[in-house]
Structure 1
Amino acid sequence: MKISYKWLKELIEITESPEEIGKILTATGLEVEGIEEIESIKGGLQGVVIGEVLTREKHPEADRLSLTTVDVGGGNPLSIVCGAANVAAGQKVVVATVGATLYPTGSEQPLVLKKSKIRGALSEGMICAEDELGVGTSHDGILVLDTDLPNGTPASEYFGISSDYLIEIGLTPNRADAASHYGVARDLKAYFNREIKLASVDAFAVNNENLPFEVEVRNSEAAPRYTGLTISGLKVAESPDWLKQRLATIGIRSINNIVDITNYVCHELGQPMHAFDADKVIGNKVIVTMVPAGTTFVTLDGVERKLSDSDLMICNSGTNGNPEPMCIAGVFGGQTSGVTNETTSIFLESAYFSPIWVRKTAQRYALKTDSSFRFERGTDPNMPLYALKRAALLIQQIAGGTVSSNITDIYPEPVADFQVKMTYRNIDRLIGKSLDKTLIGNILNGLDIQIQNQTESGFTAIVPPYRVDVQREADVIEEILRIYGFGQVELSEALSSDYLSDFPVNDPEKLKLRVAELLVANGFNEMINNSLTKPDYHVAIAESIQGNPVKILNYLSEDLSVMRQTLIFSGLEVIAYNSNRRQKDLKLFEFGKTYNEIGEKYIEKERLAVFLTGNIGQESWFEKSREVIFHDLAGFVMQVLSALKIKDVERTEADAAIFKFGTTLTLNRKPVVTFGQLQASIAKKLDIKAPVFYADFDWDYMLKQYDAFVQYKEVAKFPEVRRDLSVVVNKKITFEELRQIAYKTERQLLRAVNVFDVYEGANLEGKKSYSVSFILQDDQQTLTDKVIDKTMQRLISAYEREFEAVIRK
């Protein structure tokens, strides 16, 4: 949001510099992102003076050039080569002297004047045209002045150049009250304890009733307050310089005096307004209502839009009795009802529209205007009447005309103030410092927050409705603190914090993004596949899938006639497509839904599929490429589980109908992920010959198990101990079975079990040897050899009993 320093000074006494004001505003919660000096003419015409042409002669070497001498005050006249046809002796002109920097109209590059020779003739400056000075757009010839100012007078005096400072504020969405110069002045009022000087509207008067207008509000929920009046006999013209400069400072282009005044009042008071050409309002009646869906409406930007029946529109009575839209309420005006140079009478609108209605409409059409910016955040419902009178007086002052109707003010249910119960105990607790009760009262009064029902323990804060962000006790306390000053609260020796909000709920989309970024960082590419698929894909694995496929009633082709029950085949289609184009080394993943019909219910589940095929890495001079193996996929699976803080999973064998070999990891006896090498018969359905490794995550279940809170456990004070065993068992026994028996046998001291070698050979026919390490630790004391030996003996006995294991010495 852009604020003019000079404009601000008209509303409140300011002796501080723009930089000091910027620091104060930032400290009170209106973060100033930048301060820039703005001049009505860029560069301020430094080095540009008033001169008088003494002589003019034709250039001997160029027909279109003239040799002139120009008196610029003091010293010798300047010799200047001029290309303008209208230059003549005796003229008062504007001269840019050597060293001056000009900013020509329409040019992004500045022009620096240097002494030069043009066709052999010395030129010590330039006699300027309008566009060369940046004061206009004309380049028909040099600018000839009618002035008695002495030669050498700075051109800035002639043009009345003014300067201002633009203060740019990064306005947060909750501070709708500060979306104007008046709003910013209110914060300074509370900080400095100075009075605000709003322009008086006591001079407002209804001159006659020659142009009465009827107003009907059919939706008071969307338009709780609507005011308006008519002004006739005005003249639409260019705005005066002061108004154009004021708007230009904050980046608003001047259009005409009427539109400029509505923009001026909007940025002064935060109250958007709109002026309609009264002659184009059919029936002299304004109707605030909705129109049928699909109604076409051309907005001011010339775009034809189809309206929704949820859009609040400002309409006239229409030619056939049906309301005809003229303006999207609170968002954008229409092309046919706006003010033009031919306008002589207007209907001036000032209203309070519901933030929710305006926000939905603005988002529906992707329209972001100064008006919608304010209305959708919440304006002051008590401001429309004052703003209407303020704008009417400015229009009469600048464009003439008379107020030709009584003011219409439809406000059936006035918006009430917010009432917030406050306790001094909570104020002191959240601020971290005990403030004097009188100081608290002065700060709140400065913020237009009144105090009622005051007792020793607290009071009721009466908050004006324009402070839509101050509705709770903590909000009022924040108001006190930001004006008092965060920097004035001393840090105590023992720091603590407090809060009034609940802990946030886990965001599924953020978790999905975290896992996606993890996989992408490991070289994976994401797939997005169609949920429709071929019915014969699932026939081979029908016994492994619960339920029946969901059939499409009006399918377009047999190949897209059912919803997918698994992500396997859509992934294999991508692999086949890429393999046929010589892209065989693939790492792919997909977040997608599966669909099943079980009994009379339709089950939809979110899953994560991961595919690996081809070589695991590119071939290079220092490392040979190799084919993907099961443990490559296992490593990625464990990274995903770790990202979602899922641990203590148990292992079982994967479904042999789908996997040639693989593993299912379960948590609380429910499968979390199944992964392994797909059966060749499944891959062959899509003519894929290379081994394909696949992991299927139950994403919905994983999200339910995710816990965002970090649980801290004190670092053990006593050392851990490692012992190794070489265990010979039947070759069908898996390490997972050994691990589970170990944890069942020793629940207190066993911290980790790991396999670091596996041996199978001719001398171990039908058996294999696992080299297993055990980490033991006691949190209460240092382990003794006696305790360690006793623990290991229990583990050995369990292996011998459960698996007929032989412990190799």
Structure 2
Amino acid sequence: MKISLNWLKQYIDLHESPEEIATLLTATGLEVEGIEEVESIKGGLKGLVVGQVTNCIPHPNADKLKLTRVDVGTNEPLPIVCGAPNVAEGQKVVVATVGSTLYPTTGEPFQIKKAKIRGEVSEGMICAEDEIGLGQSHDGIMVLDTQLPNGTPAAEYLQLSSDFVFEIGLTPNRADAASHMGVARDLKAVLKRELKWPKVNDLKPAPNSKGVDLSVENTEACPRYSGLTIEGVTVQESPEWLQKYLKAIGINPTNNVVDITNYVLHAIGQPMHAFDAAAIDGQKVIVKNLEEGTSFTTLDEKERKLFAEDLMICSEKGGLCIAGVFGGINSGVTEKTTTVFLESAYFSADSIRKTAQRHQLKTDAAFRYERGTDPNLTLYALKYAAQLILEIAGGRVVGQIHDIYPQPIENFLIDVSYSRINQLIGKKLSTREVDEILAGLEIQQENKTEENFTAIVPPYRVDVQREADIVEEVLRIYGYNNVELQPTLSSTFLSEFPKKDADSLQQETSRLLSGAGFNEIITNSLTKHQYAEASASINSEEDVHILNFLSEELNVMRQSLLFSGLEVLERNIKRRQTDLKLYEFGTTYHKKNNKYTEQSRLSLFITGAQAQESWLDKSRLVRFHDLSQIVYQLLNKFGIHQLDIEEASSDVFAYGISLSYRKKPLVHLGKVNPKLAKLCDVKQEVFYADFDWEALQKYYPLTIDFEPLSKYPEVKRDLSLVVDKSIKFEDIRKLAVKNTGKLLTGLRVFDVYQGDKIGANEKAYAMSFFLQDQQQTLTDKVIDKTMQRLINVFEKELKATIRR
């Protein structure tokens, strides 16, 4: 969404710089993604100044050229060769100095350089209108009538002003901010300044006149409909000021009537539509539904088959417009129009959203209607637009000013507690601060006590319907940055709320991963069906298909976080960011036996170098164990230690393992199958871990078990085993745990050997066994007996050879 600063200043006094305003808007939730300077004349006439010709003589080597001296406010007049027939001594002129760039009305831009013309030095250019983009005239140079001092910027003489346009990434819930007035409301609350609504005078229809009649048959889809008729209008090009505002936000002017409807839409947020009254058969507008399959041609000249649920604006003989979405080709305003029927309505958001989706139509009006507009604004907007039409296009209001509103939409009433506001914000605000913020947001209060109140929320704030929403409104205006982080915030939270909390667990996990050098990503839940078809481990029959998908690339819900994560890796790698550690909390979606299920997952990705190369250490590529290390660290955080390890069977991995706890699979990790990585154009090695986040949360300990440090020493014994190469470390670990009871406190592999000193199908593990008794000091006899028992078990169960 684009917002013009000059336009915004009509509704609120602003003295801050564009950058300061952008910061304020972003802090309130209207994130400014960019600021663009829009110049009324391209280049803004930078480097062009007012000058005075102090001397003018014929050029000695050219009949049509003259040598001039021009005072531009510097120490010495500039020598300029000029070919204009009307240049003369004493004139005030526009001078382009050396280094400035001119943007002519026709042709390519060019830069002014110091030059020699027929042997004479020229240090600038005296300009004509077309040479600086002001007009079409090239009969001669511009001669100025001004007393401004020489050297004054030409932009100042011509009273040119730049505009700044904010690109706002509007979130779907903030329909109230989809206009200049909506943005001004937030600035009003933050800056505590007054809004300046455009003044609208009462309209008095011509006596004994007749306009277009109106009826609404479907009041559920159209709770309010306002309209009036203006005759005697002259449809032509809009005035310059109106065109300038529309062009600033990227809208091409059409004609004065259509431009006014667009202007009102973007000014105050109320969609408008103007009909050529001559196209309304029977001079009656009827808001109703037409039969299924009815043909209707829209403004884009496409014939569409209507659905029975589509709300239509009709005449007595047929459709004129798809209500709130798109106009018809035969009812629009053209240069031949003399009488206009002007519509301002409030349509059901659900009705418009479904219609726009069914017909795949995305318009400015539908964008606002499907999110929720202000039912109390229709009549004001109607009169405002009509007033502008009367001023710009002429004419007079005839007939009745219609306003059909059988069942007024009520305000939202929300019971709110001051203590709840403070609890959710994490800081104690005074009741006065809360009341002032809510008043600035046009949220009134009733039944007010020292502890509670009832908030009266106007219906245009469709996103504020719960106590938590009120708290969010207070917080975004008070300022997120004004809430200090307490050093004991985490411990206080856990002590006051011992109940297991999913959000807190996710925050704790995020802190652990971020501290380990990972960056969080958030990816789209929509993906393409080809991903599921590429992997045998992902059942494409379980895909949840999107009925009205916008793209083949986004036509199903994802069954795995793998491919969306690979797409992020691909985007970064192509931008030379090859060393990546990423994590994502996300949801996967499945359809089984016509039942839809969702699963919460946590994914980890590592690729590229483990660390940057330095004078101290050489760089190396990440390995499987770099990923497994952080996986085990995370599992330890959740109090999970005794894990069952199996080789991963999924074709998602080239190799990997699956970790289970109490026979419940918790995480699969390994190297991503290169064939799947290449689907996302990722050619380097990627290691991936997929956690069952819901299962993981179940095991988080509400209480932490601990025991005092043993006062008896720990003993370490090393052992080297030669076993068949098919024997895994997990097989050895399970046997060791089973045959040592509580004495074994740790087991570590410090070397693995395969080579010519042992058999081709063998490998040697060098391991350290850590033994400790919590009740007494271990004797050599007990230690030797335990180690001999392990040796016997390894020789018997694993056919191991002990290297002595």
- CA shift at 1:142, angstroms? 3.6
- CA shift at 1:390, angstroms? 0.7
1:400 to 374, 394, 397: 394
Does residue 172 in structure 1 map to residue 161 in structure 2? Answer: no
TM-score by length of 2: 0.65
2:377 to 378, 383, 397: 383
SS in 2 for 1:448: coil
- CA shift at 1:307, angstroms? 4.5
SS in 2 for 1:454: coil
User: What is the aligned partner in structure 2 of residue 348 from structure 1?
Assistant: 342
Q: Hey, what's the Cα distance between the residues in 1 that align with 2:119 and 2:657?
A: 91
Q: Which amino acid aligns with 1:451?
A: Q
**Contact in 1 for aligned 2:212/2:277 (Cα 8 Å):** no
**Contact in 2 for aligned 1:94/1:143 (Cα 8 Å):** no
User: What is the aligned partner in structure 2 of residue 509 from structure 1?
Assistant: none
- CA shift at 1:213, angstroms? 2.3
Per-residue Cα deviation, 1:200-219 (whole angstroms, up to 9, x for no partner):
22332223564532334444
Per-residue Cα deviation, 1:285-322 (whole angstroms, up to 9, x for no partner):
3343455566555544x35263452774543336xx4x
SS in 2 for 1:426: helix
The alignment covers a number of residue pairs equal to 656
Q: Which amino acid aligns with 2:232?
A: G
- CA shift at 1:274, angstroms? 1.6
Per-residue Cα deviation, 1:573-614 (whole angstroms, up to 9, x for no partner):
xxxxxxxxxxxxxxxxxxxx9999xxxx999999xxxxxxxx
Does residue 6 in structure 1 map to residue 6 in structure 2? Answer: yes
**Contact in 2 for aligned 1:753/1:774 (Cα 8 Å):** yes
Q: Hey, what's the Cα distance between the residues in 1 that align with 2:590 and 2:432?
A: 65
Q: Which amino acid aligns with 2:82?
A: I
Does residue 445 in structure 1 map to residue 439 in structure 2? Answer: yes
**Contact in 1 for aligned 2:129/2:141 (Cα 8 Å):** no
Change over 3 Å in CA distance of 1:128–1:201 after alignment to 2 = same
Change over 3 Å in CA distance of 1:603–1:637 after alignment to 2 = farther
SS in 2 for 1:371: helix
Change over 3 Å in CA distance of 1:459–1:650 after alignment to 2 = same
**Contact in 2 for aligned 1:103/1:111 (Cα 8 Å):** yes
Matched ranges for 1:725-804 at <5 A: 740-750=734-744, 751-752=746-747, 773=767, 775-776=769-770, 784-785=778-779, 788-789=783-784, 791-792=786-787, 795=790
Q: Which amino acid aligns with 1:81?
A: G
- CA shift at 1:238, angstroms? 1.9
User: What is the aligned partner in structure 2 of residue 250 from structure 1?
Assistant: 249
Change over 3 Å in CA distance of 1:770–1:785 after alignment to 2 = farther
- CA shift at 1:234, angstroms? 0.7
2:475 to 481, 494, 497: 481
Per-residue Cα deviation, 1:48-74 (whole angstroms, up to 9, x for no partner):
559999999999879xxx436789789
SS in 1 for 2:395: strand
1:316 to 314, 320, 340: 314
Does residue 196 in structure 1 map to residue 185 in structure 2? Answer: no
RMSD: 5.7
- CA shift at 1:449, angstroms? 0.7
Change over 3 Å in CA distance of 1:801–1:354 after alignment to 2 = same
Q: Hey, what's the Cα distance between the residues in 2 that align with 1:805 and 1:157?
A: 93
Per-residue Cα deviation, 1:408-431 (whole angstroms, up to 9, x for no partner):
223333322222211121122223
SS in 1 for 2:332: coil
- CA shift at 1:402, angstroms? 1.0
Q: Which amino acid aligns with 1:171?
A: L
Q: Which amino acid aligns with 1:442?
A: E
Change over 3 Å in CA distance of 1:57–1:418 after alignment to 2 = same
Q: Hey, what's the Cα distance between the residues in 2 that align with 1:150 and 1:595?
A: 79
- CA shift at 1:389, angstroms? 0.7
Does residue 413 in structure 1 map to residue 402 in structure 2? Answer: no
SS in 1 for 2:253: coil
Q: Hey, what's the Cα distance between the residues in 2 that align with 1:724 and 1:283?
A: 100
- CA shift at 1:462, angstroms? 1.2
Does residue 207 in structure 1 map to residue 206 in structure 2? Answer: yes
Q: Hey, what's the Cα distance between the residues in 1 that align with 2:391 and 2:489?
A: 60
1:649 to 631, 644, 647: 644
Percent identical pairs in the alignment equals 47
Q: Which amino acid aligns with 1:327?
A: C
Matched ranges for 1:549-564 at <5 A: none
Q: Hey, what's the Cα distance between the residues in 2 that align with 1:726 and 1:76?
A: 93
Does residue 707 in structure 1 map to residue 702 in structure 2? Answer: no
**Contact in 2 for aligned 1:234/1:344 (Cα 8 Å):** yes
User: What is the aligned partner in structure 2 of residue 135 from structure 1?
Assistant: 134
User: What is the aligned partner in structure 2 of residue 236 from structure 1?
Assistant: 235
**Contact in 2 for aligned 1:7/1:181 (Cα 8 Å):** yes
**Contact in 2 for aligned 1:293/1:306 (Cα 8 Å):** no
1:304 to 302, 305, 309: 302
Q: Hey, what's the Cα distance between the residues in 2 that align with 1:131 and 1:70?
A: 21
Q: Which amino acid aligns with 2:423?
A: R
More deviation, 17-26/221-230: 17-26
SS in 2 for 1:227: strand
More deviation, 185-194/663-672: 663-672
Q: Hey, what's the Cα distance between the residues in 1 that align with 2:145 and 2:455?
A: 63
Matched ranges for 1:491-506 at <5 A: 491-496=485-490, 503=503
Q: Hey, what's the Cα distance between the residues in 2 that align with 1:387 and 1:604?
A: 44
SS in 2 for 1:415: coil
User: What is the aligned partner in structure 2 of residue 161 from structure 1?
Assistant: 160
Q: Which amino acid aligns with 1:648?
A: L
User: What is the aligned partner in structure 1 of residue 613 from structure 2?
Assistant: none
Per-residue Cα deviation, 1:102-134 (whole angstroms, up to 9, x for no partner):
223466x64333454456677665565554322
SS in 2 for 1:400: coil
TM-score by length of 1: 0.65
SS in 1 for 2:344: strand
Q: Hey, what's the Cα distance between the residues in 2 that align with 1:473 and 1:287?
A: 40
Change over 3 Å in CA distance of 1:5–1:772 after alignment to 2 = closer
Change over 3 Å in CA distance of 1:531–1:184 after alignment to 2 = closer
User: What is the aligned partner in structure 2 of residue 41 from structure 1?
Assistant: 41
Gaps of 5+ in 2: 507-528, 537-588, 599-622, 650-655, 669-688
Does residue 282 in structure 1 map to residue 281 in structure 2? Answer: yes
SS in 2 for 1:226: strand
Change over 3 Å in CA distance of 1:791–1:160 after alignment to 2 = same
- CA shift at 1:451, angstroms? 0.9
- CA shift at 1:395, angstroms? 0.8
User: What is the aligned partner in structure 2 of residue 104 from structure 1?
Assistant: 104
User: What is the aligned partner in structure 2 of residue 81 from structure 1?
Assistant: 83
Change over 3 Å in CA distance of 1:180–1:530 after alignment to 2 = closer
User: What is the aligned partner in structure 2 of residue 430 from structure 1?
Assistant: 424
Change over 3 Å in CA distance of 1:605–1:400 after alignment to 2 = closer
- CA shift at 1:79, angstroms? 4.2
